[in-house]
Amino acid sequence: MNWSQIISLVSAGNYMEVEKILQDYPYIVDMADHLREQKLKVIANLDTYVKRTMDSVEKLGGHAYLAKDKDEARKIIGDLVGEKKTVVFSKTNVAYEIGLREFLQERNNEVWETDLGEYLVQISRGWPTHIVAPALDMTREEAAKAVKKIDPSINENSKIEDIVAAVRKFLMSKYVKADVGITGANAVAADSGSVALVENEGNIRIDTVMPPMHIAVTGIDKIVPTMRDALDEVMVQAAYAGIFPPTYINVTSGPSSTADIELRRVSPATGPKDFHLVLIDNGRLEASKNEDLKEALLCIKCGRCYFSCPIYRTLGKEWISTKSPYNGPTGVMWNYITNKDPWPASYCVHSGGCKEVCPMKINIPEVIKYIKFIGSKQVGK
């Protein structure tokens, strides 16, 4: 199956599945509308909400950091992890954004992706094709070829279930000795300092609970005012990604704790004894103050706009390639915010499909039009 066949199949499937979800759970649309209003409040006062979030994390017994760019984020996390450790990653696009996995590997750490798609990309030495389904362009035969490196019993005739089982067995051997679990965040609640994550595989649940240290790394755009907003965001993200109800929703509020003795809450308990939240700016604060660009910060990374875009359906991951983990229409916006790279915008034909399917009602074509204008001013310089 080639890329054209794969993307045609999954695009049609995603469209029909999301439409069915919205019919079966009509309150999702209201949640999305409310979420948009709440996220606009944060964008208008990002400095205030960053401070509120960091204060809330510290009150829970965790530690919060604000990194202005990639280098600062890598240094903070590198100092926390140290060297010669075993680190398990959940799927986190921000970690890709700052080159975190390679950075930690260069410091003599053993680092493993635990999301199945991301793991396949890692052992294939590839690059994510889609923000939610990173191995979207990989066939069963290609996945089998990659997994054969860790399990010789897997071959091109193996069933998908057998491939998944082989990866599960391998990753379980890494979980039991992991020193650090690193996750992203679908949302961070400013009022409680809680990190909300949505998943289906169960790897994030293990990454956040089994290692003695949990580090959550995410952009400041993931901050929402309240815990309710954080839960709204994971529900809306899952619905518009076409996987609803999600198998797991994880909420982490500081290090593990217990109140089983005299109802006095103490930390740590069975789970991690250390919790660190690393918030990254990397162009987001500047974007929040730009009237032409700030709507991009509303993106909840559901990846639905990818499927509506004729350019992504033609070019796939080659559109933005390894410049950024963000691809498709939203990737054009996010590659500019985080890398100041306007050129992927020049491929946009303004079909408008991305705007029609966006749950946050972001006027993506207008934002890309602005980025195109910025790019045009750089021609000849």
- Cα separation of 345 and 369, whole Å? 8
Instruction: Tell me the one-letter amino acid at 144.
Output: A
Question: Nearest-CA neighbor of 328 among 343, 317, 336?
Answer: 317
Assigned superfamily of 44-282: NagB/RpiA/CoA transferase-like (3.40.50.10420)
pLDDT score for 245: 97
Q: Are 305 and 223 in contact (CB under 8 A)?
A: no
- Cα separation of 373 and 328, whole Å? 19
Q: Are 95 and 182 in contact (CB under 8 A)?
A: yes
Q: Does this chain's domain 44-282 share its CATH topology with 289-379?
A: no
The residue ranges of every structural domain in the chain are 44-282, 289-379
Rounded to the nearest 5°, which phi and psi values hold at 174? -85, -35
| Number of Cβ within a 10 Å radius of residue 99 | 14
| pTM greater than 0.85 | yes
Q: pLDDT in tens for each of the 381 residues of the chain?
A: 889 999 999 999 999 999 999 999 999 999 999 999 999 999 999 999 999 999 999 999 999 999 999 999 999 999 999 999 999 999 899 999 999 999 999 999 999 999 999 999 999 999 999 999 999 999 999 999 999 999 999 999 999 999 999 999 999 999 999 999 999 999 999 999 999 999 999 999 999 999 999 999 999 999 999 999 999 999 999 999 999 999 999 999 999 999 999 999 999 999 999 999 999 999 999 999 999 999 999 999 999 999 999 999 999 999 987 788 999 999 999 999 999 999 999 999 999 999 999 999 999 999 999 999 999 988 766
Assigned superfamily of 289-379: Alpha-helical ferredoxin (1.10.1060.10)
| Number of Cβ within a 10 Å radius of residue 317 | 21
